Chains A and B, each alone.
Chain A
Amino acid sequence: MMFEILDAEVLGIITLTLRMTLFSTAISSLIGIPLGLWLDSARFAGKKLVVIINRTLMASPPVVVGLVVYLLLMRNGPFGFMGLLFTFEAMVIAQVLLLTPIICGIVHTASARSAEGIRLFARTMGANKTQTQLLLIKELGNDIFFAVVTGFGRAMSEVGAIMIVGGNIRHQTRTMTTTISLLRGMGEIHQAIFLGAVLMLIAFSVQMTADFFRKRERASDENF
């Protein structure tokens, strides 16, 4: 037996997982949301190709991303001097590479659907660039929120990449999913299932929270 149902170690693993997920989602959102909006408004040659590449990256296999990050961070790799391999930071880096295209893609799709009208409206009202962007973000709030929540869920359930770059080191880079994978390898199926249930429960409460915020958003839409 590795641990009791919910001892300090399991709590530590849950906390680490949430910390990693929050960090990765936050950073990916900060990059992905503006990028998605920009991708819709910008006009440049090869834009279609960029969009297609982004869609491809949305489906990039986590193990491949993990391997790429591993190669970049390994001792003899280009960023080896930073000593980041098998650390919390390495897992966040891999996650950001996985999540950013997803968030960017969802925001871009939503934006392509309805941003044109909003921009037109803003321009008629004499809004400057910043004001237009802010209005866009406000109007696309639900979609952006959905993008962020999707990223969050993806980050929390990811295992292939973080196993490779984090190394599943006990007390350091062991997350819920890598623990489940380990427990399965050890033949401790029931503990693995238990941890999986906890993971689903957290995912559920995150969705509940998201739903709560979304409803409020809709209400304020009506007032607008």
Chain B
Amino acid sequence: MKKKLATILTIIVCLALIATLAGCAAQPAPTPPPASEPAPAQTQPAPPPEEPEETGEITLATTTSTADSGLLDFILPNFTEVTGWDIRVISVGTGAALQLGRDGEADVVLVHARSEEDRFVAEGYAPRRHDVMYNDFVIVGPSDGPIAHNSDVAATFTAILEQNLPFISRGDNSGTHIRELDIWSALDLTPEDNAEYIEVGQGMGATLGMAVETQSYTLADRATWLAYPDVGDLVIVCEGSDLLLNPYGVMLVSTTLHPVGAQAFIDWMTSPATQELIGSFGVEQFGQPLFFPEA
């Protein structure tokens, strides 16, 4: 009876696998074609149709950290007040935010992964990148773990690898994930050599939650770390290194249908008043700013 059941189950699995493989033969077709426009940007300054639109709504694609930390809720009302433009925020990982820009779904992008941003500009999707603000990353881990508080990223990452300490990687192509990979490769280390290194492919908040639950180390941006409600017995084990600086850049997407509003956003973001607003965010609640003005 058991055997029979096992046989039936095996048959189902096999059928499914065969079907999959068969499907793959036909698959390459569906994959590439939707591969949207390679170079969409020849109508560079989208000729303003008749009436140069005074106001309207623009779309901002940004990372989860700016939204989750509460920064955008804090500053954006001022944007609408000052410029008259409404703004819609889509907060995803840096990789996805830039993709939204490439697909023409966003008018401006605010992200934090310098190498990816430079590539975005080089590919012609944005005329240039503007500094906006920065904060920093912190390496967090269990308070009773073997790593004492320090500012040496190399030593910390090496210790995690060599002692096989549990480390949770975002693994989602976000700015934080890209930075983590940059650090490993700058140190010439292969994180996968550590059996306790796992990739979870989730947002910063969810990743911190998993680190709390499993008493693991992880790289987090300071804003999300400070804003996370219950970090259990996790503490910052490493901070204050140049390797952990986290600059944010804002870019106007070349294909935008609202060049006026998008430019207004860039100008507003980098204006002294807004910069001051950014620097004041979080001081009251956390006793320290979450982002430092840099424009």
Contact = CB atoms under 8 A, between A and B. Distances in A.
Nearest to B212: A75
B31 A170 contact: no
Contact of B200 (A170, A189, A204, A206): A170
B200 A167 contact: yes
B83 interface: no
A39 B11 CA distance: 33
Interface string B22-40: 0110011011101100000
A192 to B, nearest CB: 11
B34 A193 contact: yes
Contact of A184 (B24, B35, B96): B96
Nearest to A74: B213
Interface residues of A, number: 38
B17 A194 contact: no
25 contacts: A5-B27, A18-B13, A75-B213, A86-B213, A168-B200, A169-B198, A170-B201, A178-B201, A182-B172, A185-B172, A185-B173, A186-B172, A187-B96, A190-B31, A190-B32, A193-B31, A193-B34, A194-B31, A197-B27, A197-B30, A198-B27, A201-B23, A202-B20, A208-B15, A209-B11
Contacts of B34: 189-190, 193
B234 to A, nearest CB: 12
A31 interface: no
B30 A193 contact: yes
Interface residues of B, number: 40
Contacts, number: 108
Interface string A150-194: 000000000000010001111010100011001011111111011
Contacts of A115: none
Interface of A: 5-6, 14, 18, 22, 74-75, 85-86, 163, 167-170, 172, 174, 178-179, 182, 184-191, 193-194, 197-198, 201-202, 204-206, 208-209
Contacts of B99: 187, 189
Q: Across the A-B interface, give the 9 residue pairs with the lowest CB-CB distance, nearest first.
A: A187-B99, A182-B201, A187-B96, A186-B173, A205-B19, A170-B199, A201-B23, A202-B16, A187-B95
B148 interface: no
Contact of A168 (B12, B13, B30, B201): B201
